[in-house]
Structure formats: structure tokens, C-alpha cells
Amino acid sequence: MGQLVEVLAVAVDEEVVESSLLGGNVDSPTPGRRMAATGLEIGGWVLGAAGRPEEVEVALEGETLAQGVWQRRDDLSTAFPEQPEAGKAGFEIAVDASRAPVESELEVRARVGGSPVPFARLRVRRYWRGELDPDHPPLVSIAVVDERAGAAALDRTLSGIAAQRHPATEVLVLRPPTSVPSSLPGWEENGIRGVSAGLNGPDLRNEGIRQSNGDLILFLPAGAALAPDALALAVEMLTRQPAAVAVIDGDRGGVAAALYRRSGFEELIGFEDSGNDCDLELAIRAQQLGALFAPGALIAAGG
């Protein structure tokens, strides 16, 4: 999925291994490896003086995140012929690191006599697919949701978009099926596309995103005016905080506008028809993935 983790370093504590274990190692992943944050797979082997430990596990700040599954390792039988359990001392552990801090240290521990013995550490960094490059402005798809706002309100929103400093944008106006045409004269020349497709509410929003191309997606209600440089500043916030899934102008009481990473929006599986405020419902789910709630970050005061 969209949320990834990069392995920055892997280290085995040789002193712990020599003093408390017969041997142990983390064979994978290796430093530099990138994989889905929800499925960080750690493999290796560990052997105690009295045989295979009771358990092998991964912990974060002392709290166990996952326990391993023992694997057959014929090479260990050859290396430790005096240990009858050596050939069963390989392990694999699948760890969900999506809720770990942006940078964290995972501890690989063996349980010997009921006590945890930490013998290896992995330093990892969490981020999102499509990490932003400050030297190359990302394309932002601006989805203006026009649910009968009126021509004057829509013009105010489009004028605010045109005044933004961020250079790489595409604009889609999402309109429900009404007598109002999905596109108006002059839109095409200015790079504005109308989207209707006979849909309403969450389905209309999701269809608009399917027709968009941006690495980032800004949802903006028609009638709202972006604050000066709002787009450039929000993009900078996401660039500086690679683990944040979105910048949301609002709080748990309501959402004025929101800028999402496309990879995060895909992981959230888009808008849901919850029967309530679908923008707020999505924002609450996004909070679990690390959204930045910043009231006033996008919409101008009084806009």
C-alpha cells in the first residue's frame, strides 16, 4: 500500500549474544530496504545455550509488537551439531510498523527462561510512497466540490486558485447531475475540467480523483477562497513531514479543506457514504494514519 518503511540500520549486539545466547543474527531486511509499513518482515535465527528459546519477538520501547514463527534452518544443524534444536531455530516475524514514530528503533528479543533478551536492533523510518522532492514541485490536483454553490461563489474559489504561487496544478470542478452543465465556456483554455458522470456526494468525489493525475489532492468546497500562498505552504508541510498523510484545515468538528497525498488517499480507500459529512469522516480516518490538523492553513479568514 501507500505507507512505506525504510530500514536505516541493522545491528546485532555481540556482547548480549556472547553472554546470554549461543548465537543469533538478523539476516533480513538489510539496510536500505524499503517495504510496506504494515508488513515489515524480519528474518534470522537465534539459539540459546539450552536450545531454541521459548519465543522470539519484536518490541518498540519495551512493548511487544509481534511474535515470530519458527523456521527450519538446516545450515544451523551443520553449524551447531551438538544442539538437537538448532535446525529449528530460524525465525520470521511480520511487524506492522505503520503506527510507529516517524523514526524508531525496533528491538529483536529472544525469551530465555521467560525473560526477554534483546539481541538485535533495527532503526527504521516511516514515510509515504511518492515522497516529495523540494526541488521538483509536485502536481496538485484541486478538486472543487460545487454542490449548488452558485456562479459567484465558484468564481471566487477559482480566482483564489489562480492567485496561488505553487506552479503545478490541475483543477477539476465536481458537480452533481443537475441542469447546470458540468463545464462552462473558458474552462478548457484555463486548464479547468468539469466532472459529473451522474454521481453525487462521496461517489462524485471519488470519481473526480480517478480522473485526476496529481501526486497531491486538494479538496476545496466551491465558495471557499484559498489563503495567500496556502498551497505552497501546505505542500512544504508535507515535504518536511514525510510520514504525514494530509494537511487538514479543520478539526474533529468540521473540515474546511484538505490536502491529501494520493498514496494516502488510496490507502484510505477514498470517501465512504456514511450518511454524514464525508469530508469529516475521511479526515477522522486519516488521523489514524498521521494527518496534520491545521485550522486556518488553507482557507483565508472569512473565505
141-160 pLDDT per residue, tens: 999 988 776 788 888 999 99
Average pLDDT score over the chain: 90
Q: Indicate whether 189 belongs to any domain.
A: yes
Does the structure show a pLDDT above 80 at 303?
no
* CA–CA–CA angle 281, 286, 287 (5° rounding): 100
If you search the block for the grid coordinates 496534520, which residue do you land on? 292
pLDDT of residue 183: 57
- Domain final residue, candidates 94, 128, 162: 128
> In 3-state terms, what secondary structure has residue 301?
coil
Same domain, 176 and 287: yes
Nearest-angstrom CA–CA distance, 128 and 46 = 32
At position 218, the amino acid (one-letter code) is: L
Q: Indicate whether 36 belongs to any domain.
A: yes
Q: Indicate whether 72 belongs to any domain.
A: yes
Same domain, 109 and 144: no
Give me the percent of the chain exceeding a pLDDT of 70. Answer: 94
Render pLDDT for 229-274 as a digit per residue (tens, 0 to 9).
999 999 999 999 999 999 999 988 899 999 999 999 999 999 987 6
Pairing of strands 140-145, 169-174: parallel
Residues belonging to the chain:
303
pLDDT of residue 286: 94
Contacts of 237-243 spanning 24+ positions with Cβ under 8 A: 237/292, 237/294, 237/297, 238/132, 238/292, 239/132, 239/133, 239/134, 241/102, 241/292, 242/102, 242/126, 242/127, 242/128, 242/131, 242/132, 243/102, 243/126, 243/127, 243/128, 243/290
Same domain, 84 and 162: no
In the DSSP assignment, the letter for residue 48 is B
In the DSSP assignment, the letter for residue 152 is H
Range of the domain at 276: 140-293
CATH number at residue 241: 3.90.550.10
Q: Indicate whether 266 belongs to any domain.
A: yes
- Domain final residue, candidates 128, 154, 173: 128
Q: Would you say 2 and 246 are in contact if contact means Cβ atoms under 8 Å apart?
A: no
Nearest-angstrom CA–CA distance, 244 and 22 = 42
Render pLDDT for 25-63 as a digit per residue (tens, 0 to 9).
999 999 999 999 999 999 999 999 888 999 999 999 999
pLDDT of residue 13: 94
Does the structure show a pLDDT above 70 at 181?
no
Same domain, 222 and 124: no
Higher pLDDT pick, 127 / 181: 127
Read off φ and ψ for residue 98, nearest 5 degrees: -70, -20
Same domain, 146 and 86: no
Render pLDDT for 9-18 as a digit per residue (tens, 0 to 9).
999 999 988 8
The number of folded domains in the chain is: 2
Nearest-angstrom CA–CA distance, 191 and 214 = 14
